[in-house]
A and B are shown apart, each in its own frame.
Chain A
Amino acid sequence: MGFYSCFQPGNFLALAGGTIAGIVAGAIPGLDCSVATALFLTLTYNMTPPQAFVFLAGIYCGGVYGGQIPAILFRVPGASEAVMTTLDGYPMAQKGQAGKALGVGLLCSLLGGLFGTMILILLAPPLADLALEFGPAEYFGLSVLGLSCISSLGARSQIKAIISGLLGLLFATVGLDQITGMQRFTFGTGMLQGGINFIPAVIGLFAAAEVYNQISLKRYEIGGVRDEKKSNKVKVKLPSFSELWPIKWSMLRSAIVGTWIGILPGVGATTAAIVGYAQAVRFSKHPEKFGTGIIEGIAAPETANNAATGGAMVPLLALGIPGSATTAIMIGAFYLHGLQIGPMFLQQNKPLAYTIFAAMALANVIFFVLGFFAIKAFAKVLELRYPYLAANILAFCAVGATALGDVYGMKMMFIFAILGFFMEKYGFPVAPMVLGLVLGPIAEPGLRRALLIADYDVWLVLTRPITAFFLILSIFSLLTPVLRNLFSRRKGNGMMDIKRQD
């Protein structure tokens, strides 16, 4: 029923168009699937309900995938979901394996997306029931688990990685306090009253900071990317079975984690990618290799973030609660077409619901096929001399940051670019800061609300079963690198070293 509906000409065109739009939006820094969904929402008014929802499903799946393309090629995460992919994707590209990196990302996105969709179809009702058990304490525990991988991301110094993570948590407090509405660290400026927007901060920390770094190393004089890569025409190369088999459990864990996190209301593909990567690091026999350009470092976050797309649709369709920012915007489409979203939606609109399920699956296949063509178009950019690339990237990032509403975004972006440049220069990794920025708004209100509910009884909060489970895992995750260092016989063994590729 669902697939039959999706293959109707009008619906299929809408699905393909949405997927293409999603890939493009996801790949452009400053845009992501949630922005694209909001932009194209009004376009769906003239579509039939099936066309509208398959179009938006295509944008969602394509958008989450698209962010990895510039992340791998240029260290510019196109969307927040691709931030963790940058950590291993870019170093792999720097080693002349851009094609393989892109192929791993493409295939794992497909597999993760199909896994998430399969779970959506099979387990929508019972999974949504379990997610209702999550309270503020559980959200706090989940964010601590996500933050616990900071120590594993420790560059030359775990202290610096933890400081970076704490800075991210601190930046997340800027603006209005969620509990009391009090302004914090705004210093009376309009720019800070809305808080620090995640997208300009990430664009600045990764993309613009990297341009400054390349300029500081005089890369513009040797032709930059073109000279170094002229013998490596980027061609998507799918990983072989023998390359994927050793990381099968990591991928499965990431898919499960991603789907589950996608189901949780309010947390989406970005958190899924972070936790997926963290779990891959934690369970790996060689965690020190993460950040140096390994397949697992791309496979884990990309499997998780695309799995989260299916998961995010579960609470939306089962309860009417958005599982992510993008699905929150999708609620607008239900209202536009006079549909009542809520627990009865699945019962009362089965044909449409199954069409959406099928569209989520097909969108993953479509972006897999389209991915080959999109990647070749982006790879052409590698042939440009670096000054042209730098001008383009900086202008693109600046306009992308501004497109969120005002020039404050651009100013914020450049401020974070300078911060990111100096942080990397002095050995402070920026990835933990991004973790803090994403998870801070979840961790802080979760903890404070949980303590308020428990009348400040900390023990009561920390011993809730699910919270305790997350916190114990977090402690293991935090201590594992330290213990590994203590017991290691070889000097420097066990420390992951994420540093700029010079």
Chain B
Amino acid sequence: MRGELIFNIVLFAVSLFLYYVAGTFRQFAPYTKLGPGFWPKGILLGIIFLSGILLFKNIIPLVKHEVKKSSTGSVQEPYRLFLVIVVSFAYAFGMGIFGFILSTIVFQIVLLYLLKVKRVFLIIFVSLLNTAMLYVLFIVALNMLLPPGVGIFRTISLFFY
């Protein structure tokens, strides 16, 4: 319940902010009535109104001390999920620096460790196998460009693609 309330507050606040931003879009003479802000403002008004209703519905039970048990499943071991998300973003930012191959291998090793895979051999084997499959599919078969990284990592990547 509390999580949903926070989510709705964030949604409401961000919508208000974006409505203000949409009001600052530059207008062009022929399109003053239907400028770039016309459509987004209409949508944001709808979101603000509806999220306001949701906020009201969330706050009333709290005021009346009638907190309902959440019908959605609670997150078990939230710290683990948080770490997985952090690692995901580290992968996203790291690929540009370390290149596709190295960052993908490291990402999967860390992810499998976080998901309680204990056998080191399997962690490394599966990471290498998955990366090899992605390499064959995207780079060899489909000839797609994937980030090679920078500096020495780029030099290493160029051995492969």
Binding site for B on A (CB under 8 A): 28, 31, 39, 156-157, 159-160, 162-163, 166-167, 169-170, 173, 177, 179-180, 182, 184-185, 208, 212, 215-218, 220-221, 386-388, 390-392, 394-396, 398-400, 402-403, 405-407, 410-411, 413-414, 417-418, 422, 425-427, 444, 447-448, 451-452, 456, 499-500, 502
Contact = CB atoms under 8 A, between A and B. Distances in A.
Interface string B72-89: 110111101100110011
Contacts of A390: 111, 115
B131 A395 contact: yes
Nearest to A423: B7
A158 to B, nearest CB: 10
B88 A414 contact: yes
7 contacts: A166-B47, A388-B112, A391-B115, A394-B107, A398-B92, A402-B147, A425-B73
Contact of A216 (B34, B43, B75, B145): B75
Given A163-B51, A220-B116, A395-B131, A407 B38 contact: no
Contacts of B73: 216-217, 425, 500, 502
Contacts of A396: 134
A391 B53 CA distance: 39
Given A173-B40, A182-B35, A398-B88, 5 more contacts: A159-B50, A184-B37, A220-B116, A391-B127, A426-B3
Contacts of A208: 88
B26 interface: yes
Nearest to A30: B138
Contacts of A417: 88
Interface residues of B, number: 68
B28 A387 contact: no
B39 A156 contact: no
A413 B22 CA distance: 24
Contact of B107 (A185, A216, A395): A395
A271 B4 CA distance: 31
A425 B3 contact: yes
B18 A179 contact: no
Nearest to A405: B145
Contacts of B138: 399-400, 403
Contacts of B3: 425-426
A495 to B, nearest CB: 14
B4 A167 contact: no
Interface string B42-73: 01101100110110000000000000000111
Contact of B31 (A156, A180, A414): A180
A407 B147 contact: yes
